[in-house]
Structure 1
Amino acid sequence: MTEVDEELPKNLEEDDAYHGLLPREDVAELLANTGDYMLRLSQPKPTDPREIIVSVRVAPGSDALAIRHIVIKRKKVEDAVHWYALEDFSFPSFEDLITYYVSTRQPINPQAKKVQDEAEFAHAKEKIKEMMHEARLMRHYDHVNVVRMYGVAVDCEPLMIVIELVRGGSILSDLRSRKGTIPCEEKVERMTLGTARGLAYLHSRGCIHRDIAARNVLYTLTKIAKISDFGLSREGCIYKMKASKKVPIKWTAPETMATFTYTLKSDVFAFSILVWEVFSDGDEPYGDASSAETRRKVSAGYRMPPPPGCPDGVPELMKRCWEHDPNKRWSMDDRAGGNVRRAKTPKSHLRPQSKPMQSKRSTEGRFDSAYSKDYVKQESNILLPPEYELDYYRKQKVVFI
């Protein structure tokens, strides 16, 4: 008898228990009761065949041993392919194997094998992990200035995160395409304050974004800023990064350059770089300076001068958010956001403001409690996928979170 590398069962994707390439880190939340199981795929190395994994909840709780992950293998028996979880107990078809264990409740308890070092895992598998990490973070957030995530399609490649439909580009692309024509009021109220509200909300939920920049904030056709790209984000108030990782130096706080440590205050520093981008119409921070030169200058205390024509209040905001000591730096509450809100725009750009009203959406964080009427009206125009699209995603086995 020899092991074989045959194709997966053709009807595997039709099984209600099939969850495609879902990583094991996300299994526990979907298996609520003891005895619940799912079928999924795994590929430890690029050269390895994809294996079918049966993940079973064998005990309540969040302990690592509460979920068992059993590899279903194949072998040839007299020119026929048999399927097995235990070496001496095989079945002529995968369906027979599943039916037997479900109907008899016979425990599957193969001897545990040592998992290979993560460094040997395929690049594609690491990408899947990164993507699922991003999805796990985003599923908790519901704020008008943060892109909404609905679920993850994991049944086959490419994996897809299903997010809110945002028509428009990033703030950076909008600044550059409309260079010199964007009213100062829009830069203050829509781009800067909208981002401040979103970041304040994330900080109130204990999230360090770690990549705040104009390129990572989407800007809708109705002029609503939405923070996106959570690939580097971490939960908690402090995160120690490995020295070998690449970071966007021009948006990085001096203490992070020195100690590779991120906090909520390092997001504040990056937010002030974004403010500079907004009022410079999308210019490159620090001009043509290299990353090494930028690191040296910022660590020595250099800060960029405010772009010409900044409204009153914005230069002070930049100065306070760029404090070298993070303990002296403003936080994303009434200090930073309030200063943006009070920023004065040139009279040529002023127009009568509607009476503020309470937002109907989440009021977590400090900046979403007083939207103007037109802002709340535009807020209701957030583009959600129509019902037929949601049905489509359900058929594609989207994991709705």
Structure 2
Amino acid sequence: MSTSQGSSHLVPIEKSTYYHGFLPREDVKMVLKTNGEFLIRISEPRKGEPRSHILSVFHNQPPNIDEETWIKHFVIKCNENKVFIEKNAFPSIQELVDHHLKTKDSVKDDVFLIKALPRQSWELDHENIEIIKKLGEGAFGEVSMGKLKFRKGGKTVNVAIKQAKLSNLTKDQIKEFMGEARIMRQFGHPHVVRFYGVAATTEPLYMVMELATNGALDSYLKKNPDLSIEKKNEMILQAAWGLEYLHSKPVVHRDIAARNCLYGDGRVKISDFGLTRHGIAYQADPHKKAPIRWLAVEVIRQRLFSLKSDVWAYAIMSWEIYNNGIEPYPGMMVAEVAQKVLTGYRMELPAELNQEIKNLIARAWAENENERPSMAEIAMELQRITGTVRPDFVAMEAQIKKELIMANNLTHKSHARKNKGAKAKMPKGINSIPNSNDTLFYVPRVRISFKDLERCLVVIYTSVERFLRLEFLSKFGEVIVHRLESSYDLDDITAEKVIDTSPIVLASCVLDAVLIDQHALVGTLEIEFSNSDKRIQTKILKEMSKTFQLDDGQMKNVLQTRKIMYNCLADVDIVSSFHEHIIDMKVLKEIAIEGIFFRLESVSIRKVFDSTEFLPKNKIQSKLHETGNVRISNRRYEVMSEKFAPKWNFNVSLARKLGISSMGHTECTGHQVCASKLFSLYQQSFTD
């Protein structure tokens, strides 16, 4: 339905809660989640073609596991002032929708409308946004200062508004604009610019963000050349915290520079996510322009961006900060910069700068990306050097998101786990041990019975439960809930149930380590077992399902949290906390790194790929080459088909995608198929 033909219906449909304006397909598949859920949107066709209203419906009939086909899009046509999809015609879109809702008449074939999806908290209303004055020009149009009025309570905040006039943009540019908004809405950190939402029900499109009082960081530095070295140290630490957070998602920013950071209220905030991509690496088009002065060696050569190329750019930005915002490689042309960087040239840092910070930046400029520190390591080192206490960013992120949800008049369900008393909640069927304070369990190296093994699990569970109360949930609970919701499409209640299972999940992770390497995380326990692993794992699954009333789909999500738990076990901060409260840190590191990740059975190849970003390259090579199943080539982890691809009925392409997607390349098609096969095998391994 063209705009001109359907103009009589466009005004009222805009007021419908299920009208989402220019929401693109990429967003539609992220918000529609249950069969029969639907929305109305308007397409943005190629130039010269009329716009059409689209009915998008979630429709999945088992055994279809191809997520790309789960959303059906129907063009709403118009003829003689009537709208229709295939057969019945109606005076308006609302009447068409009402008909299919009330009569249960299918839209087409077996596609039915069951539930309308209202606009999300980040889908803003134009009438609540006020433009005050122009600040400058952006990639898509004007950037202005303005005010945003929240739906609830009438509170207003000062904001920056990016405007996109569709008449001036191509379809690809519109997709890029909405793509930047899509990436930004997953962030919530004090050192990443806050995203309030996007107004897309009509033109022009608005992207609304927080307003930084001092503007771009490079401009602020140029206007304030007398900043102390301590203030600049603070700035690079704040930027490190922000980039560390982005990498934890994971995303590759690809354009870290002082010009793309904002400064306000004493805080550096990373912004400008137009080039940002999900995952840990991205192969860019070598023919497109790139900011050479901020590019790492491998990006100049191959246009291969990664988390470590962001680290390089961060070091360049640090140089900018210490040099009052001047352009890097002063006096050089772009071609000369590229040539000199490739031959080993690195810029000098101010003489008065702390030598340890100089050394850290020099490491970030290592030619070999594997020799560069991660942003987490850089942040940790800067905290130590400057004597800065790390804020509770997880709590801050939770508060930011809670405020936005509440302000936009949506019900907020707290994810924080309530204190249920000092007594640990044990799974049904497992009795508490006599002395719950006995966190260290010493026995000689002997064969033990299933009953003793069960007792071992109880000890581990109790230790982990106490640890969770003391440390874990306060730091990482919100992060895990967020990942569960965003990665596995859980609703609030289910996510909280999954979090409640986390002590059991962790205990089973720990037990895996015991069963694999015959080492225990509790004290110096060393045991040999006699065919007990499947029985105990089956018991764990049954107890988890029975205790928390989880169906098969929810159990799948519980199992998938093991990946998050493994990652947490490899986290330095958690290792330290475990050491303080429960176990020997050296033993934990050995188990978490050596034991859990390299159990190459039916379900373990995913663990291998999950582990790669945590381990030094030489350790990965030696360990993986021992198995004969995996090889490393050009920093990409290739899966060899001879061992396991035939066994799992994978073709080489799908098997390779499994490895890539497990490292964060969420855009790879086919990884859902692999995950489904893996889960089937995972279940079999527990029940055989």
TM-score past 0.5 threshold: yes
Distance 1:386 1:267 in 2: 29
| Counterpart secondary structure, 1:27 | helix
Which residue identity does 1:197 align to in structure 2? W
1:361 to 366, 381, 393: 393
1:144 to 184, 190, 195: 190
| Counterpart secondary structure, 2:305 | strand
Which residue identity does 2:363 align to in structure 1? R
In structure 2, the partner of 1:53 is: 54
| Deviation for aligned residue 1:310 | 2.7
Distance 1:161 1:25 in 2: 17
Which residue identity does 2:93 align to in structure 1? F
**Relative to structure 1, is the Cα distance of residues 52 and 4 closer, same or farther in structure 2, using a 3 angstrom cutoff?**
closer
Tell whether the 8 Å contact from 1:150 to 1:163 is kept in structure 2 after alignment: yes
**Relative to structure 1, is the Cα distance of residues 92 and 340 closer, same or farther in structure 2, using a 3 angstrom cutoff?**
closer
| Deviation for aligned residue 1:326 | 0.9
Deviates more, 1:2-11 or 1:323-332: 2-11
Distance 2:312 2:74 in 1: 47
Distance 1:106 1:73 in 2: 18
In structure 2, the partner of 1:83 is: 83
**Relative to structure 1, is the Cα distance of residues 205 and 92 closer, same or farther in structure 2, using a 3 angstrom cutoff?**
closer
| Deviation for aligned residue 1:148 | 2.6
**Relative to structure 1, is the Cα distance of residues 198 and 151 closer, same or farther in structure 2, using a 3 angstrom cutoff?**
same
In structure 1, the partner of 2:248 is: 204
**Residue deviations 1:264-302, cap 9 Å, x none?**
110111011001100110111111322222111111211
Unaligned runs of 5+ in 2: 110-167, 410-485, 487-688
| Counterpart secondary structure, 1:129 | helix
1:340 and 2:410 equivalent?
no
Which residue identity does 2:24 align to in structure 1? P
Deviates more, 1:2-11 or 1:209-218: 2-11
| Counterpart secondary structure, 1:130 | helix
Distance 1:338 1:4 in 2: 55
| Deviation for aligned residue 1:144 | 1.9
Q: Which has the higher contact order (CA 8 A, sep 6+)?
A: 1
1:185 and 2:189 equivalent?
no
**Residue deviations 1:177-222, cap 9 Å, x none?**
112x111110001x1110011112222222211111111111112x
1:222-301 → structure 2 map (5 Å cutoff)? 223-301=266-344
| Deviation for aligned residue 1:239 | 1.2
**Relative to structure 1, is the Cα distance of residues 38 and 207 closer, same or farther in structure 2, using a 3 angstrom cutoff?**
same
1:70 and 2:74 equivalent?
yes
**Residue deviations 1:49-106, cap 9 Å, x none?**
2210011122277722221111111123xxxx222211x5433443432332222222
Distance 1:40 1:183 in 2: 52
| Counterpart secondary structure, 2:337 | helix
1:314-325 → structure 2 map (5 Å cutoff)? 314-325=357-368
In structure 2, the partner of 1:397 is: none
**Residue deviations 1:206-253, cap 9 Å, x none?**
2211111111111112x1111111111112222111112221111000
Which residue identity does 1:35 align to in structure 2? G
In structure 2, the partner of 1:394 is: none
Distance 1:262 1:18 in 2: 37
Distance 1:361 1:341 in 2: 14
1:157 and 2:156 equivalent?
no
Larger of the two Rg values belongs to structure: 2
**Relative to structure 1, is the Cα distance of residues 390 and 99 closer, same or farther in structure 2, using a 3 angstrom cutoff?**
closer
| Deviation for aligned residue 1:388 | 11
Tell whether the 8 Å contact from 2:52 to 2:76 is kept in structure 1 after alignment: yes
| Deviation for aligned residue 1:361 | 3.0
**Relative to structure 1, is the Cα distance of residues 361 and 342 closer, same or farther in structure 2, using a 3 angstrom cutoff?**
closer
Which residue identity does 1:360 align to in structure 2? D
1:23 and 2:24 equivalent?
yes
2:350 to 297, 300, 307: 307
Distance 1:267 1:94 in 2: 47
Tell whether the 8 Å contact from 1:56 to 1:69 is kept in structure 2 after alignment: yes
**Residue deviations 1:131-180, cap 9 Å, x none?**
2322332232222212232332221122223333433212211101112x
**Relative to structure 1, is the Cα distance of residues 99 and 165 closer, same or farther in structure 2, using a 3 angstrom cutoff?**
same
| Counterpart secondary structure, 1:150 | strand
Percent same amino acid among aligned pairs? Answer: 37
Deviates more, 1:165-174 or 1:206-215: 165-174
Distance 1:82 1:204 in 2: 50
| Counterpart secondary structure, 1:102 | helix
Distance 2:348 2:74 in 1: 60
| Counterpart secondary structure, 1:74 | strand
The RMSD of aligned alpha carbons is 3.2
| Deviation for aligned residue 1:5 | 4.2
**Relative to structure 1, is the Cα distance of residues 263 and 94 closer, same or farther in structure 2, using a 3 angstrom cutoff?**
closer
1:167 and 2:250 equivalent?
no
Distance 2:180 2:326 in 1: 29
| Counterpart secondary structure, 1:152 | strand
Deviates more, 1:299-308 or 1:227-236: 299-308
The structure carrying a bigger helix percent of its residues is: 2
**Relative to structure 1, is the Cα distance of residues 294 and 358 closer, same or farther in structure 2, using a 3 angstrom cutoff?**
closer
Distance 2:221 2:31 in 1: 42
Distance 1:295 1:63 in 2: 42
Distance 1:212 1:252 in 2: 9
Which residue identity does 2:106 align to in structure 1? P
Report the TM-score, using the length of structure 1 for normalisation.
0.77
**Relative to structure 1, is the Cα distance of residues 74 and 38 closer, same or farther in structure 2, using a 3 angstrom cutoff?**
same
| Deviation for aligned residue 1:26 | 1.0
In structure 1, the partner of 2:655 is: none
Which residue identity does 1:84 align to in structure 2? F
| Counterpart secondary structure, 2:355 | coil
Distance 1:177 1:320 in 2: 30
**Relative to structure 1, is the Cα distance of residues 34 and 218 closer, same or farther in structure 2, using a 3 angstrom cutoff?**
same
**Residue deviations 1:117-142, cap 9 Å, x none?**
xxxxx943222322232233223222
Tell me the number of residue pairs that the alignment of Structure 1 and Structure 2 aligns. 348
| Counterpart secondary structure, 2:5 | coil
Distance 2:3 2:245 in 1: 52
Distance 1:308 1:158 in 2: 50
Distance 1:3 1:208 in 2: 39
| Counterpart secondary structure, 1:59 | coil
| Counterpart secondary structure, 1:50 | coil
**Relative to structure 1, is the Cα distance of residues 133 and 386 closer, same or farther in structure 2, using a 3 angstrom cutoff?**
closer
